[in-house]
Amino acid sequence: MKTVKFLSVLNTLGGTETIDRLFASQFCTTEDEASLTWFMLLMALSALQRQGHTCVDVRKLANTPLFVDETQQLNGWRYPAEEQLEHAIEQAMKNSVVASALVYQHGRLYTRRYWQFEREIGQALAQRCAPLTLSDEDYARLNTLWPGMFSTDPTAEQDWQQLATACAVQQRFTVISGGPGTGKTYTVTRLLLALQCVAKGRSKIQLAAPTGKAAQRMNESIAGALEKLRGHLDESLINSVPTDAVTLHRLLGISRFGVETRKNQANPLQCDVLIVDEASMIDMALMARVVRALPAQARLILVGDADQLPAVESGNVLEALVEGHNSELISAALQQHLQRMCPHLPVPKVSDKANDYVKMLHTSRRFGGDLATVATAIKANAPSAAWQIIRPAELPADITANQGVLSVSDSAFEAHFVHLVRQCFSAQMNPSLTPAEALQQMARCRWLSPVRNGEWGVNTLNQRIEQALQVAGGH
């Protein structure tokens, strides 16, 4: 039976789940006041893992309240000083059962499973961070190819896409990260061409993404980018770049209900280059399986936006890899490489603290004006700046002709729902269109929702749009 002290604390916690208490109870068998700190550390670890984290950072948790829910008037629990937290952990780790299931290292408390994943990924990626050596012949090939892909005119403004491509040619591990419209597909396509140029078209390239939809989008994007280069580059080089991305689960051979993979250290992937799009969706467990299956000499290129789609399960690998990165810094070895590849570009500063494997794309090329300003403000957590640009929509106006950023009230949206649907989606219902033309019309306008279910969720909106189009079409 729990002591009065335990019960009084548990009754003040908000945002907890039954699994948190069960987890904490499993590794905290004593229920006295001295064990309360350890019990609450376990509660924090379980809750943070549910939220996508892999560990508890004891230094950040110290002297901080957690499980506060003001709406329910629950004050949560303030964690004591770091020294007290560490003492509680040290005492708990004397229990062999606890020590076998949990790990405390560098001020962080993990379940052993996620600690092993993190260590395995870190070691695998660190082994790929040493720069590759390119021959004079390689540089000659690349210098011949380069003007067909990028401008080689001297400029004082940095070309982040060109810089990322040039840097990645020399790396066995690269992260290409950037927001919407910053040219990730543009960059990846040219990187693939550069890699095939060096390999004389013989490199085995594998494209993958976490979901089927992302894989399909990757196929379409790269195929479209390659088509634009036809007539400017050698046809055989363009044809050597694949456009057949698959899901990571299919690539690794993960069964629907299992955790084992057909591809692993004993049966590695047959590829020289693995490029994974939408890498922000890769969690720690999936990333561990990727590095296990990747041949030692293969290149790994992760592409995505750490501020966009979150990891499916615990551990946002992409976010951790790009956190704190300074795009203005490179190593001395990379500087020498860039001087041979892109002497026309500004040279970033040399620093021994540079992470050469991270390449950030900063300039949006998809949109500008008000939309870019609003997006930048939202990303910078500056809502007041965003609202200065957003203006109320005057319905029933033609919103598809709008060049700014509009807001629509709930009541106006409901009152003019059918009108909005007809504006945005009627063109694709033309029976004379071919399937390809209908898909092109669908791409002209898309409604996005941050949730799948509920009144404003994707499922509900899709049903309502379909019903409105049926009414508009008279059937």
**Per the domain annotation, does 103 fall within a domain?**
yes
**Per the domain annotation, does 138 fall within a domain?**
yes
**Per the domain annotation, does 339 fall within a domain?**
yes
Residue where a domain stops, chosen among 311, 340, 361: 361
Q: What average pLDDT does this structure show over 139-162?
A: 95
Length of the chain (residues) = 475
Q: How far is CA 61 from CA 112, 115, 225, in A?
A: 20, 19, 47
- Whether cis (ω within 30° of 0) applies to the bond prior to 242 is no
pLDDT at 191 over 80: yes
pLDDT at 282: 94
With b for 16 or more beta-carbon neighbours within 10 A and e for fewer, the 242-255 pattern comes to bbebbbbbebbbbe
Listed residue (290, 270, 265, 149) closest to 205, CA to CA: 270
pLDDT at 337: 96
* pTM score of the predicted model: 0.84
pLDDT at 4 over 60: no
Read off the pLDDT of residues 87-111 as tens digits, 9 standing for 90 and up.
999 999 999 999 999 999 999 999 9
Query: Any idea what the CATH number is for the domain that residue 314 is in?
Result: 3.40.50.300
**Per the domain annotation, does 213 fall within a domain?**
yes
Return the C-alpha torsion angle 378, 179, 47, 258, nearest 10.
150
Asked if 141 and 50 sit in the same domain, the reply is no
Give the structural domain span for 257: 129-361
Asked if 324 and 469 sit in the same domain, the reply is no
User: Which DSSP letter does residue 26 get?
Assistant: H
Q: Rounded distance, CA 378 to CA 282, Å? A: 24
Asked if 221 and 179 sit in the same domain, the reply is yes
**Per the domain annotation, does 120 fall within a domain?**
no
The amino acid occupying position 406 is: L
| Residue 405: strand, helix, or coil | coil
Query: Any idea what the CATH number is for the domain that residue 18 is in?
Result: 1.10.10
pLDDT at 8: 78
pLDDT band at 1 (very low <50, low <70, confident <90, very high): very low
Asked if 89 and 36 sit in the same domain, the reply is yes
CB-based burial of residue 12 (10 Å sphere; 0-12 exposed, 13-18 middle, 19+ buried)?
A: middle
pLDDT at 461: 93
- 421 vs 152 pLDDT, higher one: 152
- For 31-95, where are the alpha helices, taking DSSP H only? 36-50, 58-61, 82-92
CA diameter of the chain: 78
pLDDT at 205: 98
Asked if 333 and 379 sit in the same domain, the reply is no
Q: Rounded distance, CA 108 to CA 147, Å? A: 49
Read off the pLDDT of residues 376-424 as tens digits, 9 standing for 90 and up.
788 778 889 989 888 887 777 767 666 678 888 888 888 888 888 888 8
**Per the domain annotation, does 240 fall within a domain?**
yes
pLDDT at 475 over 70: no
Read off the pLDDT of residues 352-376 as tens digits, 9 standing for 90 and up.
889 899 999 987 777 677 887 888 7
Asked if 141 and 240 sit in the same domain, the reply is yes
Asked if 139 and 227 sit in the same domain, the reply is yes
pLDDT at 431 over 80: yes
Q: Rounded distance, CA 225 to CA 101, Å? A: 48
Q: How many domains does the chain have?
A: 3
Read off the pLDDT of residues 26-59 as tens digits, 9 standing for 90 and up.
999 877 777 999 999 999 999 999 988 999 999 9
Read off the pLDDT of residues 262-284 as tens digits, 9 standing for 90 and up.
999 999 999 999 999 999 999 99
pLDDT at 445 over 90: no
pLDDT band at 5 (very low <50, low <70, confident <90, very high): low
Question: How large is the C-alpha radius of gyration of the chain?
Answer: 26
In this structure, how many other beta carbons lie within 10 angstroms of the beta carbon of residue 364? 17
Q: Rounded distance, CA 423 to CA 143, Å? A: 48
pLDDT at 472: 61
Asked if 275 and 316 sit in the same domain, the reply is yes
CB-based burial of residue 337 (10 Å sphere; 0-12 exposed, 13-18 middle, 19+ buried)?
A: buried
pLDDT at 351: 93
Asked if 291 and 157 sit in the same domain, the reply is yes
Asked if 148 and 219 sit in the same domain, the reply is yes
Asked if 139 and 47 sit in the same domain, the reply is no
**Per the domain annotation, does 144 fall within a domain?**
yes
Q: How far is CA 464 from CA 431, 440, 460, 468, in A?
A: 21, 22, 6, 6
User: Which DSSP letter does residue 30 get?
Assistant: -
pLDDT at 149 over 80: yes
Residue whose entry in the numeric block shows the structure tokens 């670890």: 45
Q: What average pLDDT does this structure show over 218-239?
A: 95
Read off the pLDDT of residues 236-264 as tens digits, 9 standing for 90 and up.
999 999 999 999 999 999 977 667 899 99
pLDDT at 83 over 70: yes
The amino acid occupying position 341 is: M
Residue where a domain stops, chosen among 361, 394, 410: 361
Residue where a domain stops, chosen among 361, 395, 414: 361
pLDDT at 470: 82
User: Which DSSP letter does residue 199 get?
Assistant: T
**Per the domain annotation, does 34 fall within a domain?**
yes
Asked if 388 and 350 sit in the same domain, the reply is no
Share of the chain above pLDDT 70, in %: 96
